[in-house]
Structure 1
Amino acid sequence: MPNKNLSLRDQTTEFLLYTAPNGAIKVEVLLGNESIWLTQKRMAELFGVGVAAISKHLDNIYASGELQQEATISILETVQQEGSRQVARKLEYFNLDAVISVGYRVNSAQATQFRIWATALIKEYIIKGFAMDDERLKNGRYFGKDYFRELLERVRSIRASERRIYQQITDVFAECSIDYDPKSETTRLFYAHVQDKFHFAITGHTAAEIISHCAPVILREVVPATLREVVPVILREVVPVILREVAGSICEARAC
């Protein structure tokens, strides 16, 4: 059964205008549950076809199992003008998943415009790994939630990735070095120094300081009492060697 509990932000009807590139199409849509909700009539206006065509495509979509009715349909009581009267009727609203699926099946000029737009976004995502609506991010809250903060957090996470940053630094270093040798001591020391810089930029501490700060916790919480005299030696003598080897392996990987 379709979902009958469409929850609207502050229980008011809101509208979003969808305008085609020729500026001719304007469709009222209901915003709720961070999605777009359209009736079959509004969907028909959006794609420039009759309601019967929309109904046929929706039946095929649900029959094929592409979408589930209970996940994509909500029934809402809507007041509409019928002649001189305002009548309250229960109407089926279909969410964004259903709208997109119908848009890829309908044969009309407006549906073609929709597919060109949607395909361009998919292509951009496949090639670049991201697709953005700059104006929406600037203005925010199209769907009751501002995704700008989420975008910032994801970008911050990507920028903090040592693996990604190391790759960029490796590329620059290799391309600018005429006699680049991934096994040379100079290269190894360079990457060890860069790694220390990154550690400090992210944590405020050098690699040695991080080890020093973590050592008491490791000794107290992790290491058995019988090994606690050995661990400081490992941290002091072995870990720096490992760090240098890691930096060197990055160079070698770049050379391959």
Structure 2
Amino acid sequence: MSIISQIRHFLINRLAEWFTIAGSACCIRLKSIKYREFCMNNDQNFSLVVFQKDNELIDFKIHRDTQEIWATLKEVAQLYDVDKDTISYHIRNIFQDGELEERSTTEDFQVVQNEKNGQVCRTLTHYNLDIIISVGYRVNAKKAINFRQWATQTLRTYLEQGYIINEKALSESPEKVNELAAKVREIRAGEKQVYAKVRECFKIGASDYDPSSQEVRTFYALLQDKFHHAVTGMTSSKLILDRANHLEDNMGLYSIAGTFPTKKEIEIGKNYLRPDELYRLHLLSEQFLLYAESTALQGKKMTMTSLHTQLDRLLTLNDYDVFPGYTDYMKNEALEHARQEFERYRKKKVIEDEGYIYDEELVELGEYHFLFEE
């Protein structure tokens, strides 16, 4: 794939994400209504999306479960004010250039059409949103130029700000607002975000804050463990000791960046939190941050002790157990356990990838030793 195609592919993905989240495009109005014209009960799975362009209505199909938009050759041609042959030409080039795969972007649906002899059920090829956007970057027509201008501005905003928000679409969909709020809360609840915000608040109103002191490092570690204990009853170290297990999927981790855990990820207790625990942690973190921000904005003095006291009150208010304090030091033990489990997990994956059934006893007997020889 050429550099130009790679850039275009990136832009298409970003735009497709925006369409999925926001639900509308530039000067095109989006309205959902019930669609009754699918034969073979397809109306159970699809709704009709009406794009109003000038005074013309263009009907696209949207899958109710996946929220994917599908359009026929004729509908894409109507959208950009060109003939079907032009659209077909560009779609062929898109596939030939390797920009998109035909298998993942096309689907045949049966649709009822009004013809001379009445309504007829036809099988028509439909193209998804990736194709619709990609064609818009290739067609030489006024409507396509307008689309590209809008898309370029939208993508520039995305690259500069890191996000794009369609306020109108969100205001009409409480579910989308909740999804967006949860995503923002997840980002704000990250350790780096929490610590950065707390540091910022300390700079404004703290009287005992020395960022280089051991006391400050201990403060953040205790803060983290209070959150973890609230939602699991365990500290970060205890989480690792309890849940790091080479026999579990992803070694017991629920949060990893790729498809295989890294040495860094296995040493972070938060990565072992289950989805429901992680969500509750995000809620608590958000409440704590709001308190710290409010206190700083009011110009009130804060100390590390007062913040811990307020966090304890917050936990009590939310019916969580307050962390009673450390009874032993388990960090080194937890890290060593995680590293040992990681090595076992790595070997387990090698054995399974080679087509063998993993057996602990056979591993101890050295039956798989030949798989790890240089």
What TM-score do the two structures reach when normalised by structure 1? 0.64
SS in 1 for 2:62: strand
| 1:209 is the counterpart of 2:324 | yes
Residue among 96, 99, 104 paired with 1:66: 99
Choose 36-45 or 194-203, whichever is displaced more.
Answer: 194-203
1-side partners of 2:311 and 2:150: how far apart? 41
Secondary structure, in 3 states, of the residue corresponding to 1:27? strand
Which residue number in structure 1 is paired with residue 50 of structure 2? 17
Contact between 1:8 and 1:31, CA under 8 Å: does it hold in 2? Answer: no
Moved over 6 A (4+): 184-189
Amino acid at match of 2:155: I
Structure 1 equivalent of residue 170 of structure 2: 137
Deviations 1:152-175 (A, max 9, x none): 321221232342133234335446
Aligned-pair CA distance for 1:197? 4.6
Choose 158-167 or 68-77, whichever is displaced more.
Answer: 158-167
Q: Kindly state the Cα deviation for residue 100 of structure 1 after the two structures are TM-superposed.
A: 0.9
1:69-101 residue CA offsets vs partner (Å, 9 max, x unmatched): 111111111111123522221110001111111
Say whether residues 1:26 and 2:141 are aligned partners. no
Residue 193 (structure 1) shift: 5.0
Amino acid at match of 1:149: N
Q: For the Cα contact (< 8 Å) 1:124–1:130, is it kept in 2?
A: yes
What is the CA deviation profile of residues 30-76 of structure 1, one whole-angstrom value per residue up to 9, with x for unaligned ones?
A: 01132110001000010111111100000000111111111111111
| Change beyond 3 A, Cα 1:101–1:210 | farther
Distance 1:63 1:201, change over 3 A: farther
C-alpha deviation, 1:110, in angstroms: 0.9
The question of 1:101 aligning with 2:134 is answered yes
Q: Secondary structure at the match of 1:34?
A: coil
Matches within 5 A, 1:1-256: 10-11=44-45, 14-20=47-53, 23-32=54-63, 33-140=66-173, 146-174=175-203, 182-183=211-212, 190-191=303-304, 193-194=306-307, 197=310, 201=314, 204=320, 209=324, 211=326
Instruction: Provide Cα deviations, 1:219-245, integer angstroms capped at 9, x if missing partner.
Output: xx97xxxxxxxxxxxxxxxxxxxxxxx
> Larger relative CO (CA 8 A, sep 6+): 1 or 2?
1
Amino acid at match of 1:167: A
Distance change >3 Å, CA 70–CA 35, structure 1 → 2? same
Classify the secondary structure of the residue corresponding to 2:165.
coil
Alpha-carbon distance in structure 1 between the residues aligned to 2:193 and 2:151? 30
Q: In structure 2, what residue type is equivalent to 1:170?
A: R
Q: Could you tell me how far apart the structure 1 residues matched to 2:159 and 2:311 are?
A: 30
Aligned to 1:60, the other structure's residue is in SS state: helix
SS in structure 1 at match of 2:112 = strand
For residues 185 and 31 of structure 1, do their structure 2 counterparts lie closer, same or farther at Cα, with a shift above 3 Å needed? closer
User: What TM-score, normalized to structure 2?
Assistant: 0.46
Q: RMSD of aligned C-alpha atoms?
A: 3.8
The alignment covers a number of residue pairs equal to 203
Q: Give the Cα–Cα distance (whole angstroms) in 1 for the partners of residues 192 and 314 of structure 2.
A: 15
Consecutive unaligned residues of structure 2, counting only runs of 5 or more, are: 1-40, 220-302, 335-374
**Shift in alpha-carbon separation, 1:35–1:176, aligned structure 2, 3 A:** same
Aligned residue for 1:247?
Answer: none
Q: Is the 8 A contact 1:26 1:46 kept in 2?
A: no
Aligned mates of 1:59, 1:74 — CA distance in 2: 15
In the TM superposition, what is the alpha-carbon distance from 1:176 to its structure 2 partner?
7.2
1:29, 1:37 within 8 Å by CA — same for their partners in 2?
yes
8 A contact 1:77–1:90 mirrored in 2: yes
| Residue identity matched to 1:209 | P
Any gaps of 5 or more consecutive residues in structure 1?
Answer: 1-6, 223-256
Equivalent position SS for 2:52: coil
Work out the CA distance in 1 between the residues paired with 2:146 and 2:313: 50
- The SS at the match of 1:19 is strand
CA distance in 1, matches of 2:213, 2:103: 63
Secondary structure of the residue aligned to 1:38 is strand
